[in-house]
Chain A
């Protein structure tokens, strides 16, 4: 269950707006931030907050890229695989990540540190090849700068 303060603040926000359903995505994000991903319980809580049925929330939760219905790691690495990054060598970045982290796309390291997910063009084509870690963008990357970033994140954690 989400903590009472979070619930109250969401309820307050919801009550303050003419059309509460405009907030579904915001509420999903908020609850996801708490759990790390949107688990079944979270879907039901979002539904209750917004007076929707669980499947009505699920209809949206499973639609969007940035709502995770399965557990993800502390750092979610989104590797852009669209055209410009592809042209600028995203595949070698990806290979490097797969090699270093020992996981495939769609997976999470056993220590729960990193998840690797593909993402379509993140709008930083001028900095291709680019990746995004927890919504922060890195690019243009080389294998070396990529390694540095991973090391830094490991050290920070």
Chain B
């Protein structure tokens, strides 16, 4: 088996989290010390831009550029929010990351804060991750005692502290603006910019929100430089490593740190232990529930954000859910749409009403009560759900659209046989 450099998971243990000591021995908090001594906040931003660190929460927005959108003269206090909501079905990398090496995330947040001149940090975490929340609270306290957090960090005049905010559970809370509303004690409806959160976020103050994995990358980029970071990827278009959460019909489901640009086939066959006994690869969702089915023809595709985008797909969160030839993709899509219809925040019409409509059509198809005309209806409705208020609905219809694109025959079989052919 091919072994790749482990950066984020370098201290990962099978049975416990890495302690502060272990993290420090691996070079932890050196980047922070360096930043505090030798960096301006501009320089932090520039390094991250040079490294092409793209947001790992799904949208792949350049992390450094996000920091740069905080205007020099923007008011204080400024906020850093770490998005540990991770409610995208199939995705569990942030959970594994927190359980592996919490200080890496903390250090990433502090450096990020330095880059934004922020002094308040919040980790927004889903309620199912109660153990992770406790770990973070405990390690934050330890970091504070060691002077990595709180007032006068490492003897400088830089102050930054972190609080853990537990959510009460809703997928939409993962969306930036909805998350900020949730944090302010409002309903977690998204809010279309302008103003952007980095201009007016929490309590109308500049707020930089980043994913757990994105933040965990930051100390390493500072320590080893942008060039090193880019060179970690196997492709020209990628940079760094990626945490892939692999699940479904594979022998060895789990979360793996692998270079950007790694082939899908390699992940499945080697790192995830191959397809389970008697199953054959039919398709996967490469980046969580809100990405498009990747059928057989893309089996060897190199996984990085750009490569997938160029073929009309999205890498999303890198959560790969693998389906075999015995899995009905109409039923799988229905399951996803059930999820999305239930989790819609209810703000805008297309998502609130259109998803249950699509759910109804898929239910009928799956039950063998489908009609020919449902296929164009699914297509059109999915297309129009792109005009919803936020990115939730376009994500929700991604599986539906790709089902019709790649597996129309499978749908037709449901109609002609008047039942699910997989049952």
Contacts and interface: CB of A to CB of B under 8 A. Distances in A.
Direct interface between A and B, CB < 8 A = yes
A86 interface: yes
B185 A22 contact: yes
B187 A59 contact: yes
Nearest to A135: B130
B168 A29 contact: yes
A125 B92 contact: yes
B128 A84 contact: no
Interface in A76-135: 81-84, 86-87, 119-126, 128, 132, 135
A125 B90 contact: yes
B289 A125 contact: no
B126 A87 contact: no
Interface string A118-155: 01111111101000100101000000000000000000
B407 interface: no
By size class, the interface of chain B is: 35 or more
A134 B342 CA distance: 22
Contacts of A82: 89-90, 289, 335-336, 339
Given A83-B289, A84-B247, A87-B327, A121 B90 contact: yes
B255 interface: yes
A83 B89 contact: yes
Contact of B183 (A22, A52, A120): A22
Interface in B146-192: 165-171, 182-188
B167 A87 contact: no
A84 B187 contact: no
Given A65-B168, A124-B92, A125-B253, A60 B247 contact: no
A17 B255 CA distance: 37
B217 interface: no
A102 to B, nearest CB: 25
A83 B336 contact: yes
Given A86-B335, A87-B248, A123-B95, A135 B343 contact: no
Contacts of A50: 185
Q: B-side binding surface: helix, strand, loop or mixed?
A: mixed
Contacts of A124: 92, 95
B357 interface: no
Nearest to A125: B247
A28 interface: yes
Interface string B109-136: 0000000000000000011111000000
A53 to B, nearest CB: 12
A60 B89 contact: no
B339 A126 contact: no
B168 A67 contact: yes
Interface in A1-40: 18-19, 21-26, 28-29
Given A86-B335, A135-B127, A28 B248 contact: no
A37 B185 CA distance: 19
A120 B248 contact: no
Interface of A: 18-19, 21-26, 28-29, 50, 52, 59-60, 63-67, 81-84, 86-87, 119-126, 128, 132, 135, 137
Sort A-B residue pairs by CB-CB distance and give the 3 closest, nearest first. A21-B185, A64-B168, A121-B89
9 contacts: A22-B185, A25-B165, A63-B170, A63-B187, A64-B167, A83-B89, A123-B126, A125-B253, A126-B254
